[in-house]
């Protein structure tokens, strides 16, 4: 498979399906074979754009593809993933992995049994800002994430935790690298039956603490992450693809220098502008499309099973398990 193009297909012709189809059509290692949607008219509109076939029934892909991306409503993920994994066809499943942890576990177990490449589309892990942060190799002690936006009028079958917060859950779990000790959360539904706003505090066994806020009822879009560690402080903006890092080593003697200036020259501490004293660096960020990087990693793993996709189904399941803990905590703190 290293010498030939990987035959790919997208299940679901909605917004995310269209993005996946576009990227697959552009990747040199991919041959986009088909787009599948129960609404065959939608599939044909998209397939016509990328000169591939259109099907209403995903079963028609058997024998035609090596890998598929599942970009359907979450409720269909398990049925589709099971079909393709059982037929040894690699799957990329848009987040969340499944509608619940039980179904997620079944997908993980089946992929392991079949030795089939299975990935989860947590594309925010491929955000250039996150990739730049990963290269710093820090050990976080406190993480604060805020992800808010106006109502998107999509993914109405799930609440803000599984729709939006799960991006940050996945990133935080990959950073903390520890089992969860405790979760406390509060949220409220305003527009629909599921929660639209949620705040969660996650305490890890290694002492790391994360505070996450997600809302799909905001007046603006904001996606930010702040990380505190012994090695550095990071402030990241996913939306603007910008970040700064304040490393501990270059700044370790600043407070002592200021105290000496106070004692020797009578410096007035209240007039000191702290940010002016710090050594602050901008993160070196490669502006690469997250979904493209995600699919490249997926197809590399399909071609060479010694490699791993950016986010495995095991990691996708861990994010779901954490999300389920948050949802259980919401029930305990339910608003009247």
Which burial class, exposed, middle or buried, applies to 286 when counting CB atoms under 10 A from its CB (0-12, 13-18, 19+)? exposed
Q: Across the chain, what does the average pLDDT equal?
A: 90
At 230, is the pLDDT very low, low, confident or very high (cuts 50, 70, 90)?
confident
Tell me: do 33 and 97 sit in the same domain.
Answer: yes
Cα–Cα nearest to 29, from 3, 11, 49: 3
pLDDT at position 157 is 74
Give mean pLDDT, residues 94-121.
Answer: 96
User: Among residues 16, 119, 7, 26, which one has the least CA distance to residue 71?
Assistant: 16
Residues 175 and 238 in one domain: yes
Domain for residue 314, yes or no? Answer: no
Please say whether the beta carbons of 63 and 16 come within 8 A: no
Band of pLDDT at residue 270, cut at 50, 70 and 90: low
- Do residue 247 and residue 101 come from a single domain? no
Judged against a pLDDT cut of 70, whether residue 159 lies above it is answered with: yes
Residues 47, 18 share a domain: yes
**Are 152 and 219 part of one and the same domain?**
yes
Range of weakest confidence among 32-36, 80-84, 285-289, 316-320: 285-289
**Per-residue pLDDT tens over the stretch 312-336:** 999 999 999 999 999 999 998 876 5
| 193 found inside a domain | yes
Residue 149 sits in the same domain as residue 282: yes
pLDDT band at 298 (very low <50, low <70, confident <90, very high): very high
* Span of 158-162, 220-224, 304-308 with lowest mean pLDDT: 158-162
In a domain? residue 38? yes
Q: Within a domain: residue 315? A: no
Give the pLDDT of residue 263.
Answer: 58
Domain match, 278 and 148 both: yes
Q: Average of pLDDT values for 122-146?
A: 92
Please report where in the chains the tokens 């990739």 appear, as a residue: 131
What's the CATH code of the domain at 254?
3.30.360.10
Q: Domain tally for the chain?
A: 2
Element (H, E) at 196: none
Strands 67-70 and 90-94: parallel
Full-model pTM: 0.87
| Residues 147, 116 within the same domain | no
Q: Cβ contacts of residue 235 below 8 Å, gap of 6+?
A: 224, 225, 226, 243, 244
On whether both 200 and 52 belong to a single domain, the answer is: no
1: pLDDT strictly greater than 50: no
70: burial class by Cβ within 10 Å (0-12, 13-18, 19+)?
A: buried
The DSSP H or E segment spanning 137 is: none
Q: Has residue 306 been placed in a domain?
A: no
CATH number for the domain that contains residue 109? 3.40.50.720
- 313's CB contacts (< 8 A; 6+ apart) are 93, 97, 104, 107, 108, 111, 118, 119, 120
Do 15 and 145 lie in one domain? The reply is no
Share of the chain above pLDDT 70, in %: 89
310 occurs within a structural domain: no
Residue 311 belongs to a domain: no
Q: Is the pLDDT of residue 260 over 70?
A: no
Task: Write out the two tokens for 270.
Answer: 């209240």
Mean pLDDT (whole number) for 108-132? 95
* For residue 98, pLDDT beyond 70: yes
16 and 117 part of one domain: yes
The dihedrals phi and psi of 115, each to the nearest 5 degrees, come to 50, 50
Q: What is the mean pLDDT of residues 47-67?
A: 97
Q: Which domain holds residue 180?
A: 126-289+321-332
| pLDDT score, position 181 | 97
Q: At residue 18, does pLDDT exceed 80?
A: yes
What's the average model confidence in pLDDT over 217-228? Answer: 94
Mean pLDDT on 145-163? 85
Rounded average pLDDT over 18-42: 97
**159 and 180 share one domain:** yes
Evaluate whether residue 280 is within a structural domain.
yes
């Amino acid at each position: 498979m290293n010498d030939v193009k990987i035959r790919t297909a997208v299940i679901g012709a909605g917004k995310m399906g269209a993005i996946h189809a576009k990227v697959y059509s552009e990747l040199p290692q991919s041959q986009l074979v088909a787009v599948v949607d129960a609404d065959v008219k939608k599939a044909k509109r998209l397939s016509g754009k990328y000169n591939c076939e259109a099907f209403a029934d995903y079963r028609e892909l058997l024998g035609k593809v090596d890998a598929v991306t599942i970009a359907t409503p979450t409720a269909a993920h398990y049925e589709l993933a099971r079909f393709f994994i059982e037929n040894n066809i690699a799957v990329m499943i848009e987040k969340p992995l499944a509608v619940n942890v039980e179904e997620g576990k079944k997908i993980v177990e089946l992929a392991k049994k079949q030795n089939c490449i299975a990935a989860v589309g947590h594309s925010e892990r491929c955000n250039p800002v996150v990739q730049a942060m990963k290269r710093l190799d820090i050990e976080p002690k406190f993480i604060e994430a805020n992800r808010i936006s106006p109502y998107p009028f999509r993914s109405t079958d799930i609440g803000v935790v599984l729709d939006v917060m799960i991006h940050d859950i996945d990133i935080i779990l990959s950073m903390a690298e520890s089992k969860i000790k405790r979760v406390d959360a509060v949220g409220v539904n305003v527009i629909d039956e599921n929660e639209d706003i949620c705040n969660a505090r996650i305490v890890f066994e290694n002492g790391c603490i994360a505070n996450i806020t997600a809302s799909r009822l905001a007046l603006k879009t904001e996606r930010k992450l702040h990380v505190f560690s012994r090695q550095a402080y990071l402030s990241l903006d996913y939306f603007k693809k910008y970040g700064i890092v304040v490393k501990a080593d270059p700044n370790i003697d600043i407070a002592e220098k200021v105290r000496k200036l106070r004692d020797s020259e009578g410096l007035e501490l209240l007039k000191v502008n702290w940010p002016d004293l710090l050594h602050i660096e901008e993160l070196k960020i490669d502006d690469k499309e997250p979904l493209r990087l995600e699919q490249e990693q997926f197809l590399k793993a399909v071609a060479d099973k010694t490699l791993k996709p950016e986010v495995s189904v095991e990691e996708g399941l861990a994010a779901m398990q954490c999300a389920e803990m948050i949802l259980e905590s919401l029930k305990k703190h339910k608003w009247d």
